[in-house]
Amino acid sequence: MIRITPLFLLLAAAFMISACNSEPTSEPFTAVSSDCAVTGNIFVWLDKNANGRVDFGEKPLPDIAVGIDSPTDRTDEQGRAMGSKFPVCCESECWRGHSAVIEIPKGYKATTPTQIPVTSLSGKKDKQYKFGLMVDTP
């Protein structure tokens, strides 16, 4: 019979906790690597002229389903949401392999890609993942 001592349990717990706590890096990310989390700023707007760019007078869209890898969040009155994902014990650069996504609501169609890969900021302070929608007319 194997005897499990309190010391063994303590060491095992310490190892499991340390596996998810990665060291901070000096490079800023659009998606932040912190305690196994990936986050991204998402913005959705009504793209009236369907050019895929936010133009003067185009309004933000509230209550649109968005997120990181799956639409688990909703935009606020300013068309903004903070998408988040918690990968299993990511050591560093947790943003790699993830995407900001949007669920196209009924009556709209996309004017931008509906999935945007999460990328490093490369020196920029704050990047948004922007999704344009237009009214889908029959």
Domain extent listing, the chain: 6-135
- State CA 60 to chain mean position distance: 19
State phi, psi for 14 to the nearest 5 degrees. -65, -40
Q: Name the stretches of the chain with pLDDT < 50.
A: 8-35, 122-125
CA-wise closest residue to 68 among 117, 111, 15, 23: 117
Q: Per CATH, is 6-135 categorized as 2.60.40.10?
A: yes
∠ CA 84-86-89, nearest 5°, is 155
Q: Give tens-digit pLDDT for 70-98.
A: 999 999 999 999 887 766 666 666 667 78
